[in-house]
Amino acid sequence: MRTILLFISLLITLTVKSQSVSNNGYPYTQVPFTAVKVAPESFWGQRIKAAREVTIPLAFSKCESEGRYKNFQMAAYTLQHPGHAGLQTDEWDVSKFMGFSFDDTDVYKTIEGASYVLQTYPDKQLEAYIDSILDIVAAAQEPDGYLYTARTINPQKPHGWSGSKRWEKDEELSHELYNLGHMVDAACAHYQATGSRKFLDIAMKFADCVVREVGPRADQACVVPGHQIAEMALARLYVLTGEKKYLDEAKFFLDYRGKTNHHDVYNQSHQPVVDQAEAWGHAVRAGYMYAGMADVAALTGDEGYIKAIDAIWKNIVERKYYLTGGVGARHSGEAFGADYELPNLTAYNETCAAIAQVYLNQRMFLLHGDAKYIDCLERTLYNGVISGMSVDGGKFFYPNPLCSDGVYKFNSEGTTTRQDWFGCACCPSNLCRFIPSVPGYIYAVKDRNLYVNLFTANTATLQIGGKDVTLEETTEYPWEGDIALRIAQNRASDFTLMVRIPGWVRGNVVPSDLYSYNDAEKLSYSISVNGETLTTPVNAQGYVPITRKWKKGDVVRIHFDMKPRTVMANAKVTDDRGRVAVERGPLVYCAEGIENGGLNTRAVLMPTHPQFAVAPQAPILNTEGDGSTFYVTKLTTTVQEASIDALGKLNTQERQLTLIPYYAWNHRGAGNMDVWLAQSLRALSE
């Protein structure tokens, strides 16, 4: 009997694989996370380790302590005992115990992150634990596939955001389709990592319910997601299964946006998506929608979608993009601001919005093959994303401002430091699923071209022309600019290695005039193959192509100069006038008062031509977290500390200022912090 069951399971798995789409429709193919093993002690290996050992276990424990699993269990009980007496009591009034109608997604996102981890670090105990959770989830699914505990627990007294019937309030607050999106994404990741259909079957059953009930026909609910993400997820499900109905549903969600009865710039439903040319509204919803438009455009060839997201991306990087790669200037609506509205102290820059920008920029690269999109992705990744999680993986930011006075309560919980968790836990659980997926952003392939997009120590086995190629990369990036790529195996013979030369090396802060370097530094780079220096120039897309018949043992060495540089913002960014920021490599730096003896960083006056000393392997004690010490490269320069005496006279005092990577701030408690430092007296007074 066991043999028969194993055969049936294998047959089902093979059926899914045989139905899957050969690629995701993009001209360029992302090398999947399953093909790349990041070195444990590398920069990203340490981030993944923190997620694996701390963040994901913490998230699972919060799902238990905060009642996420209980919600599924209560829904299952109602399905098993319809009309039970408890439904008439306050204990079963969903609005009185469920915080948000999207609380189910905390479970899905955590499973997704754990699935990515399982691929790199097989763990039978973790796999069994996930299976036990999936049993709880499956029991809460209604017979027709609908799975939304906010309603199923008590159909007569559902969550207050849910409406009186299915889909009625999805364009406003119910988040039913948002829940679907995270479930499908997690199920696809779980299947990719484990080969098990357990979660995939649950997700497909819910997706099939949506396909039947939501659409343009008279017998369907003609609504689109109030919070986007289902578009991306359904496109992914189509690629995995080959079932075109999922792609059709994703396209319906986009095509009908701005055409239903709900019109609101907050969730980008104010006009049809093909007519949108600027980024407005809730920054997370927007980023997910733009990424979904790219997916559907790639799979359907819809040129209108591509034209729209090209214009929107241009609007973001030219006028609405923080130096850290974050987006979302306004706390009100967690939203994009107007052109050049980029405040620092009150910046919102939600962690989830930064993750959405990574999704968008990766897809823009897969559409167009230009390194400028990876430049933006890298900037967001090293600054706007990982600032949202402490280095030990146990504390989190929801917003990520570029300035702190130690008093302004920028966090959603009314605090000035990273928190263990949030009532609305979308950011911690999103980090759970995102950080372990980073290996999937390092390489891409098109025809016989292999693109090296990000730099971190890793081993990757990928295919070129159907033949295996194994690369071994060693580097201390982002701390140092030396990278070695060794061909460990090559059955593809000749191919072109496309080495990305980052924008920061080529003198471009971002691919627009929103920010520019204002110092006299000129960075250079060099590339050699087996000790022979190449003279091949950077092509128009930002890559150096190296074409040859590669042999096992060939070594490509890459060097990027890594000097500290000062940056100025476009004059139209009023909050940054007369100020400069400091970068080194892909990292944005900041001045933190705690690092400088309690200094008020708003009183710092930078010289016109600052000189920096570089201190590698400098310690930071994580007193706000696990008490451990972590190491970064710090920068030191001479500045003037300004003060005004009792007579109103300006006094200055020379002192040394130490800067640390922006992502590393706030590990020693609340205090002053600034990314943008005054370089004029006028800026000091503002």
Other beta carbons within 10 Å of 169: 22
Gap between the Cα atoms of 211 and 205, Å rounded: 10
Angle between helices 426-434 and 104-120 in degrees, nearest 10:
20
With H, G, I as helix, E, B as strand and everything else as coil, classify residue 534: coil
Is 188 part of the annotated catalytic residue set? no
Other beta carbons within 10 Å of 654: 9
Please answer whether residues 494 and 549 qualify as being in contact, where contact means their C-beta atoms are separated by less than 8 angstroms.
yes
Site of tokens 């289902």: 230
Instruction: Report the sign of the C-alpha dihedral through residues 340, 345, 351, 355, in that order.
Output: positive
Two tokens, residue 50:
């923190």
Gap between the Cα atoms of 408 and 10, Å rounded: 57
| Residue type at position 288 | Y
Please answer whether residues 499 and 558 qualify as being in contact, where contact means their C-beta atoms are separated by less than 8 angstroms.
yes
Two tokens, residue 459:
């081993």
Gap between the Cα atoms of 449 and 546, Å rounded: 9
| Residue type at position 565 | R
Residues 6+ apart with CB under 8 A from 24: 30, 235, 236, 239, 295, 298, 299, 366
Residues 6+ apart with CB under 8 A from 143: none
Gap between the Cα atoms of 634 and 630, Å rounded: 12
Side-chain-side CA neighbours of 602 within 13 Å: the count stands at 14
Chain centroid, CA 684 distance in Å:
34
Please answer whether residues 387 and 416 qualify as being in contact, where contact means their C-beta atoms are separated by less than 8 angstroms.
no
Two tokens, residue 418:
């990273």
Which of 148-160 are b and which e, b meaning 16 or more Cβ less than 10 Å from the residue's Cβ?
A: bbbbbbbbebbbb
Side-chain-side CA neighbours of 575 within 13 Å: the count stands at 21
- Report the Cα–Cα distance between both ends of the chain, in Å, rounded: 77
R_g of the chain, CA atoms, integer Å? 25
Instruction: Report the sign of the C-alpha dihedral through residues 138, 141, 142, 144, in that order.
Output: negative
Q: What are residue 677's DSSP bridge partners? A: 580
Gap between the Cα atoms of 213 and 180, Å rounded: 13
SS3 assignment for 6-37:
HHHHHHHHHHHHHHCCCCCCCCCEECCHHHEE
Is 376 part of the annotated catalytic residue set? no
Residue in 176, 231, 249, 334 annotated catalytic: 334
Gap between the Cα atoms of 440 and 638, Å rounded: 41
Two tokens, residue 26:
């993009």
Residue in 188, 426, 427, 590 annotated catalytic: 426
Gap between the Cα atoms of 471 and 452, Å rounded: 10
Residues 6+ apart with CB under 8 A from 437: 33, 113, 116, 189
Gap between the Cα atoms of 174 and 405, Å rounded: 37
Output phi, psi for 678, to 5 deg.
-65, 140
Which residues are marked as active site?
A: 334, 426
